[in-house]
Amino acid sequence: MGAVFLDRDGVINQALVRNGHPFSPASIKEFEWMDGIHAVTEKLCSAGFRIFCVTNQPDVGRGLQDIALVEELHKMVLNELPLEKIYTCYHDDVTACDCRKPRPGLILEAASEYDLDLEQAWLVGDRWKDIDAGNSAGCKTFFIDYKYTEKYPINIDYIVGSLSEAVNILLKQ
């Protein structure tokens, strides 16, 4: 089977939406799992998919969030979900790094490290940057449309309302 790349905020955990824009939780207390995330990731794992998280966490680079909190959240995610690894970009938009989505650097790093065939991989995200990164890496994409007030992605394979819906479609492929 292939690999599935999940964005973190809005896919694994609930994003905090303010004025139509999603934000990362600023504390452990603000972190809330998405409904059904445990069952859905177990279903993917049981079907033979390798699961990874690829996430931008620019508030660290901006000095607005402590890297220790992000790493604590990631330890919690890895302890509770059957993910292989979480790949994180801590840079701000102004940094010309290859790892910040919409660039595919995090996905390409995982593919190299785990010898993944990206033509057999899927990316699930809730923002245009996720979809662009998946497309650039050669993955098929699922866009969870929460109707944010921001740029809408293009070249989407599937538009869904939840990760559960995406996984149901994926498992029928």
Using one digit for the tens of pLDDT, what is the confidence trace for 19-72? 999 999 999 999 999 999 999 999 999 999 999 999 999 888 887 888 999 999
Give the mean pLDDT of 81-92.
95
Which residue among 7, 59, 126, 130 is the active-site one? 7
| Domain residue spans of the chain | 3-172
Pick the CATH number of 3-172 from 3.30.160.40, 1.10.238.10, 3.10.129.10, 3.40.50.1000: 3.40.50.1000
In the prediction, which pLDDT does 113 show? Answer: 97
Query: Which of 2, 12, 73, 9 has its CA nearest to residue 41?
Result: 12
pTM to 2 decimal places = 0.96
Contact at 8 Å (CB) between 86 and 108? no
Which residue among 9, 126, 130, 132 is the active-site one? 9
In the prediction, which pLDDT does 61 show? Answer: 85
93 is catalytic: no
**How far is the C-alpha of 110 from the C-alpha of 107, rounded, in Å?**
5
98 is catalytic: no
